[in-house]
Structure 1
């Protein structure tokens, strides 16, 4: 199981707001049954099997193009841990437990 953070940024749209693009990306995520995700103010954290995440990243990257953007910058950070199972909740709970 991998945990990743993705930020999809449409460039040159003529508008400073990106919430409509974020909403469309969230709709794509809702349709993906094999992942868990959490919207944050600066991106989206996604949890799932690596092969599923990679396909999901491609779908998310395409969203602004489908809405008319001519350029898209996508940043992805992946935490792929193989020594033990890690989840978004487990990572947060680990920090809380140490506080």
Structure 2
């Protein structure tokens, strides 16, 4: 099943800046072959359910291994079975309505 996920991973106990850990997670998601789009407070991910969640697990494992004692993660997940829909499709739909 294909899913679109909005992921926000926040390492705790590592100081104020977390960009190093965000970059680590981005690399993991890219290496997993997922379609991703970084935004100011997280990352949108598109892919197969098991592949997406395996990559999220790896993000947690790698961030812990890099010294973060705690991680707080927020996940919003959407799936459709009536038709395929991509992140780009969703954005184009809204953009078209804004042009009307």
TM-score w.r.t. structure 1 length?
0.92
Equivalence map 1:1-99=2 (5 Å):
1-13=2-14, 15-33=15-33, 35-99=34-98
Looking at structure 2, the residues matched to 21 and 70 of structure 1 have their Cα atoms a distance apart, in angstroms, of: 12
Looking at structure 1, the residues matched to 48 and 29 of structure 2 have their Cα atoms a distance apart, in angstroms, of: 14
Moved over 2 A (4+): none
Structure 1 residues without counterparts, runs of 5 or longer? none
TM-score w.r.t. structure 2 length?
0.91
**Deviation at 1:32?**
1.1
Q: For the aligned residues, what is the CA RMSD?
A: 1.0
Structure 2 residues without counterparts, runs of 5 or longer? none
Matched pairs, number: 97
Looking at structure 2, the residues matched to 72 and 53 of structure 1 have their Cα atoms a distance apart, in angstroms, of: 18
**Deviation at 1:63?**
2.7
Looking at structure 2, the residues matched to 80 and 56 of structure 1 have their Cα atoms a distance apart, in angstroms, of: 17
Moved more, 60-69 or 81-90: 60-69
